[in-house]
Amino acid sequence: MNNWHKPRAKSFFLYFVQLNEMNGESEETFLKHVFGESSDSDADDDDGSSQYPAWQRIKEIKGLCLCRDFLSPQQQASLLSAIHKEGWFTDASHNQAMRFGDLPTWATKLSSSIREVVLQDDHDLAANEEAKEACLLPSDLLWREPLFDQLIVNVYQPGEGICAHVDLMRFEDGIAIVSLESSCVMHFTRVEEACAIEKGEIKDPPAAKIPIYLTPGSLVLMSGEARYLWKHEINRKPGFQMWEGKELNQERRISITLRKLCHVD
């Protein structure tokens, strides 16, 4: 089902080498971060190239893209360990942490990884003029610095979710959400339809909501219409977390949301 992308652009590689040097990491550390540890099997590859996770563009919602294999199980474990070391959730009553401006090192690296996989996908599309509109993020968003400067980490226990909403206008376009630990279904509803449902003007027909299956290690990008014209929610009450006719087994879920604050003169 997944198609794997392979890096080909020299300028793409050099950009991340330079970016990593700015962050004070050696080239060896950078290579391990991006391509993983070397192995004999890697050396035996015919072309020696690495594999990249594939993106799924949600056809019903312009600007909504899903990358289910964004983080490997090992990367997920490392990320969870980094979050645990922050000490934000030592008290069971604490279920959310927010940071503005300078983000933790692991969050900065996560942002760089997001830019990396977006660049790779856009590079593969560049040769096809008709596919340019399918780019994951507009260039003005992809190349802004920093890519993100606001972080929210949420911990959801079984049955806990988030109501339908559009993210606050204090944040720019281009929002990333990384899921960890437990799978879930996120539903998207057009703003006007969601408002009519809330007012009781129409019932909640299944066709009004677009379900997106989020697995551990997956990444969602919202921009344009998906960011401004659609509400998203996660209803984890019994009967709502259904996928392919089966109810999901709910466990604790952690989400990482990365956004950029609007510039204020």
> Which residue in the block uniquely carries the two structure tokens 């709910």?
250
Q: What is the pLDDT of residue 152?
A: 98
| Mean pLDDT, residues 246-255 taken together | 93
**Which range is least confidently modeled, 36-40, 46-50, 109-113, 230-234?**
46-50
* The pair of three-digit structure tokens given for residue 25, joined into one six-digit string: 């990491």
Kindly tell me if the per-residue pLDDT of 212 is higher than 70: yes
- The residue with greater pLDDT, 54 or 27, is 54
Residue 215 tokens read as 């697995």
Mean pLDDT score across all residues of the chain: 81
Query: Looking at per-residue confidence, does 13 or 262 come out higher?
Result: 262
Q: Is 189 exposed, middle or buried (0-12, 13-18, 19+ CB in 10 A)?
A: buried
Give the per-residue pLDDT at 45.
Answer: 40
pLDDT tens, position by position, 12-32: 434 444 445 445 554 445 445
Q: What is the pLDDT of residue 199?
A: 72
Averaged pLDDT, 44-48: 40
Determine the Cα–Cα distance for residues 146 and 261; give it in Å rounded to an integer. 10
Q: What is the DSSP letter of 261?
A: B
Helix (H, G, I), strand (E, B) or coil at 172: coil
State percent of the chain over pLDDT 90.
Answer: 60
* 55 CB-near residues (< 8 Å, 6+ apart): 65, 66, 67, 117, 121, 136
More confident residue, 198 or 65: 65
For CA atoms 160, 164, 169, 175, give the dihedral sign.
Answer: positive
Over 70: is that where the pLDDT of 260 sits? yes
Flag whether pLDDT at 79 surpasses 80. yes
pLDDT of residue 8: 35
Q: Which of 67-76, 109-118, 206-215, 226-235 has the lowest mean pLDDT?
A: 206-215
Residue 142 contacts residue 119 (beta carbons within 8 Å): yes
Using alpha carbons, select from 32, 36, 77, 109 the residue that is nearest to residue 217. Answer: 77
pLDDT value, residue 62: 95
- Confidence band of 125 (pLDDT split at 50, 70, 90): low
Q: How confident is the model over 148-184, as pLDDT tens digits?
A: 999 999 999 999 999 999 999 999 999 999 999 999 9
Supply 168's token pair: 């606050």
pLDDT-derived band at 44, boundaries 50, 70, 90: very low
